[in-house]
Chain A
Amino acid sequence: MISEKSFASYLVAPSIIVLLLTTTFPILYLIWSSFQNINLAMPWMDGFAGLKNYSDMFQDKQFWKSFKLTIIYTLSTVSLQLIIGLGLALMVLRIPKAQWMFRLMAILPIVLAPVVVGLFWRTLMLAPDFGIVDFFTKTIGVGSFAWLSEPKLAVISVIAIHTWQWTPFAFLVLLASLASLPTDLYEAAKIDKASAIKRFFYITLPLIRPAIVIIVIIRSMIALSAYAAIYAATRGGPGTATEILNLFAYRTSFLEVNFGYGSTLAVFILFITITVAAILYSIRKKRI
């Protein structure tokens, strides 16, 4: 005979051991290296660095620029996904016959590898004298744009690419949530002659709030770890125009082989992610 408690621990133990070894240990190693000088270009300098990497970071202009860009990128992609996804879900709800097609097609951007998405947009959509977007803007007479090589446009482009790929996620979750709402509330509201806008803000929105919060949580986490699509589309450029913190940490570590400072940047990304997650989860707990 074996007690339920010990059986339960046997079942969970292998996973926990694997997670401790494969995630917690590397994170501790990362934190340790953030206090070290580890620079493959200057190996003779290696050793304990104390808080130097951290003080360097807060004085680094590129760090602040990348941090600001990360905030802009995360806020704009998450809110665009939410707004477009909700708008589309509300629309598709009204055309029940075509719903299956929207559900099916929405899967396509989601399953594609972000690196392929970045490459497709860089070539098929945005490339001058080749891409569809370029062809479209020329046709309607506004001319050609350097979507990926003009700094401001490049930022807009990488935001658009992320939004393109992940709005279907918000759409699918919101559509499922909207479809599961009880209809009797709406009947009652109609009898009370509540306007469509009132019905939306006083009935629909509070009811789909859990879905919205979940979308914001998941999408923020993903936006904060975005890497492949931007790397494929712009490599962080032109210059460092689209270099969000992930790409900056990557360049520092693997191209400038300054692993100490790179680790410090990664620790900061970890810190931001944990903070955002903590805030969002506490918002979720506060629900009615």
Chain B
Amino acid sequence: MSFIKFNKKNYRNFIITFVATFILLIWILPLIWSVFVSLKSEIEVLAYPPNIFFEPVLDNFKAAIFGSLSIISELIDSFIIATITTTLTLILSIPAAYSLARLNLFGKKKIGFYVLATQMIPPMGLVIPYYLILGKFGWLDTYHGMIIVYMTFSLPFAIWLMVSFMEDIPREMEEAAFLDKASRIKTLLYIIIPQVKGGIAVTTIFTFMNSWNEFLFAVQLSGNKVRPVTIAMYNFVSVEQTLWAKLCAAALIAMVPVIIIGLIGNNHIVKGLTLGAVKGGGRK
């Protein structure tokens, strides 16, 4: 081991590492702390100042899975809604993106702009009419109602994401001037889709995550028969006293799918986020 020379450069690097690590800690602190709290007994939780060393118990997790506070049915509801939304979104967005990105589509610019515009609609602009419209159909608090509403934010986003991926495929892939319908569909299925597997992965991750995490539509347009898991979280604190430890356990269970997807699909997510930005603004 050599002695660290405290010259100017080393000193600067030390400061940089220190500050960056500090910010990193702040990012992960709430999550780490929630793990600690979720493993405490309700009495231990209220100890102040908080103990870092304690005997971990799994009671809260048991309660959140099997007990009276079980969130299993909410997890199933979220899973059903997110999975169907994601599947429908992929089925609709892939052909649309292919058409927008690579084919000689009539009114391409206008259609592209329309899709972009629908993506910008603030959710508050939709939740009010949907409450009135779904109410008239008797579709409030139903799976199909929720899936329709979730399509409003997932479909435009998925189309744009897929368009950016489709644009990256080399042009020679489809020499498609005079083809019949069957071979055109085959081109899409067997030549284009395998080329954009990465893009489909990114789209799947984002669509599933956004549906899983959605709250505003869930809280207002469902809640009794159909209860996505984000609503269950809120109910842990809306009752008289806050069940701190149980809330943490339930929230961690509820967030496990997206955390796992996030960590495994890390590179995909960064790619999805940066796609437009790094290419110098994405689409013109």
* Residues of chain A at the chain B interface (Cβ within 8 Å): 1-2, 4-5, 7-9, 11-12, 14-16, 18-19, 22-24, 26-27, 29-30, 33, 38, 84, 88, 91-92, 94-95, 98, 101-117, 119-125, 127, 129-130, 132, 135, 164, 168-169, 172-173, 176-177, 180, 210-211, 213-215, 221, 224-225, 227-228, 231-232, 245-246, 249-250, 253-254, 259, 262-263, 265-267, 269-270, 273-274, 277, 284, 287
Contact = CB atoms under 8 A, between A and B. Distances in A.
Interface string B142-175: 0000001101100110010000000000000000
Given A2-B180, A277-B120, 4 more contacts: A1-B180, A8-B104, A15-B159, A176-B274
B28 A105 contact: yes
Contact of B131 (A16, A92, A119, A253): A253
Contacts of B131: 253-254, 259
Interface secondary structure of B, over-half rule: helix
A227 B216 contact: yes
A116 B255 contact: yes
Interface secondary structure of A, over-half rule: helix
Interface residues on B, range: 35 or more
Interface in B249-284: 251, 254-255, 258-259, 261-263, 266, 269-270, 273-274, 276-278, 280-282
A14 B132 CA distance: 25
Contacts of B152: 22-23, 26
Contacts of A267: 125
Given A12-B96, A23-B152, A95-B13, A121 B30 contact: yes
A112 B266 CA distance: 14
B230 A116 contact: yes
A98 B49 contact: no
Interface of B: 13, 16-17, 19-20, 23-24, 26-31, 33-34, 37, 46, 48-50, 92-93, 95-96, 98-100, 103-106, 111, 114-115, 118, 120-133, 148-149, 151-152, 155-156, 159, 176-181, 184, 188, 209, 212-216, 220, 230, 233-234, 236-237, 242, 244, 247-248, 251, 254-255, 258-259, 261-263, 266, 269-270, 273-274, 276-278, 280-282
B273 A173 contact: yes
A11 B162 CA distance: 14
